[in-house]
Amino acid sequence: MREWVEHAAVWVILKGLGVLPRPLARSLAAGVARLFYALLPGLRKTAEVNLRIAFPEWSRARRRSVIRRMLRNLGWMAAEFQRRGKGVLYLTGHIGAWELSSFAHALYGFPLHYMARRIDNHRIDALVNGYRCLSGNRPIFKNESARVMLKVLKEAGTVGILADQNSMPEEAVFVDFFGKAASTTTGIARVALHTDAAVVPGYAVWDEPRRKYRLRFDPPVELVRTGDMEQDVLENTQKFTKLIEEIIRKYPEQWVWVHGRWNTRPKGEPSPYDFQ
């Protein structure tokens, strides 16, 4: 019953944000993000552990400051989201307004396909994916990902992939992320090596001096090709992960620190999230 009430509350909040003036919607959404963070101790502990792993030299006050600004950024992103040859693999992560970045792609005339997981609550799933597709984007769900992705790239399309979350061992390799081994999807490297699609890093980050989001693209990543497929997959996955780490280091308050990024461990090594 509690889970149903929480899902219903989220659905009502998401619906409501879209009809509010932008400043009020952003303020309300940031408040909601802070409330959920306060009510879920698991998220708080995960964020604290992650920041200690990534920035061990930081003071507790600095880590708390980043978390406060991260929650503001998450709220703002939710508000913004409700308001609005060989192909390309768009490499990004849960940083800044990642939902807004894909929306902007299509709005400027470059719709893309995005990798997605179904949300358990079908009403929230329909609402979220409805917004994501408003400007012309299309989802690729996990059970159809390989076939559809290859088809899109063959038609010189674009696929957006969030590549900064913990992955299951059967579809991942361990690479360095903030000095600690992190289980990371190999999908982008395998597809890029197979199709020769360009891998282009891109992010929509909040630019504080300009008081607006800035859509940033970096040059395509030069792939490592030695002829040893598994070694190439490992080295390119490390390369992609390092690029994501660099942008997080530049905008630490804009990354989602509440995700258990280091949860899957090499054999025999305990998870850092021993409170779960």
Q: For residue 162, report the phi and psi dihedrals to the nearest 5 degrees.
A: -85, 115
Instruction: Round to whole Å and give the CA distance between 95 and 144.
Output: 26
Tell me what the mean pLDDT of segment 37-61 comes to. Answer: 93
Model confidence pLDDT, tens digit, residues 162-205:
999 999 998 999 999 999 999 999 999 999 999 999 999 999 99
Q: Does the pLDDT of residue 136 top 70, yes or no?
A: yes
pLDDT of residue 16: 61
pLDDT of residue 23: 80
Q: What 3-state DSSP class applies to 8?
A: helix
Model confidence pLDDT, tens digit, residues 18-46:
666 778 888 888 888 888 888 888 989 99
pLDDT of residue 76: 82
Q: Does the pLDDT of residue 1 top 50, yes or no?
A: no
pLDDT of residue 231: 97
Angle at 73 between CA 158 and CA 27, to 5 degrees: 125
Model confidence pLDDT, tens digit, residues 76-89:
877 765 654 578 99
Instruction: Round to whole Å and give the CA distance between 217 and 200.
Output: 7
pLDDT of residue 175: 98
pLDDT of residue 85: 57
Instruction: Round to whole Å and give the CA distance between 101 and 216.
Output: 9
pLDDT of residue 176: 98
Q: Tell me what the pLDDT averaged over the chain comes to.
A: 87
- Residue scoring higher pLDDT (14 or 178): 178
Instruction: Round to whole Å and give the CA distance between 118 and 134.
Output: 18
pLDDT class of 133 with cuts at 50, 70, 90: confident
Instruction: Return the DSSP state at 18.
Output: T
CB 133 within 8 A of CB 139: yes
Model confidence pLDDT, tens digit, residues 215-268:
888 889 999 999 999 999 999 999 999 999 999 999 999 999 999 999 999 999
Q: Please report which helix (H) or strand (E) contains residue 191, including its range.
A: helix 187-195
